[in-house]
Amino acid sequence: MSVCPLPPVPYVPQPPAHAHAFVGLTSVALGHFHGVEMFVYAVNGDGTDGHVHRYQGYTKMAMGHFHRFIGMTGPPITLPDGSHYHEIDVLTDDEPFEFKQNYYKTMLSVKRHTHKFAGRTGTGIGYEPPGW
């Protein structure tokens, strides 16, 4: 049995992997709003390559419930110092949840509703140290 060696794969340097933090508030619905704190998933990219980040999570509790959300940022917006941020614009799931007896349960006593939140992430975090 002969082994066919694979050709060498050239090394192509990529921009550094990084994430971004986001903190904000949702819109008001049914007389309440929710807080949102999250990190977007890390990807390789810089301020000029058009990369995006995925995210998912849930809002903070308000009026006894929370909402789930999932989405993707807009492309990077480069700042004068070379760093960048991303815009976020998302609508939460319409199903209100509560944490009950160690699991998540739909709150049937709360009318289904959504909340919107939007804004800018912070600049990139989690970059490897130079020369690492």
Under the banding of pLDDT at 50, 70 and 90, the label for residue 2 is low
pLDDT in tens, 98-126: 988 888 899 999 999 999 999 999 999 99
Beta bridge partners of 90: 117
Give me the count of residues in the chain: 132
105 three-state secondary structure: strand
Evaluate whether 90 touches 7 at the Cβ level (below 8 Å). no
Task: Say how far apart CA 67 and CA 52 lie, in whole Å.
Answer: 23
pLDDT in tens, 56-101: 999 999 999 999 999 999 999 999 999 999 999 999 999 999 988 8
Domain carrying residue 106: 17-124
Domain annotation covers residue 66:
yes
Domain annotation covers residue 131:
no
Structural domain count, the chain: 1
Domain annotation covers residue 6:
no
Residue 9 has pLDDT above 80, yes or no: yes
Domain annotation covers residue 129:
no
Residue 105 CB coordination number (10 Å): 11
Interval 14-18 mean pLDDT: 88
Q: Which one-letter DSSP state was computed for residue 116? A: E
Write out the E strands in 34-82. Answer: 35-39, 43-44, 54-58, 68-72, 77-78
Domain annotation covers residue 132:
no
Task: Say how far apart CA 34 and CA 58 lie, in whole Å.
Answer: 10
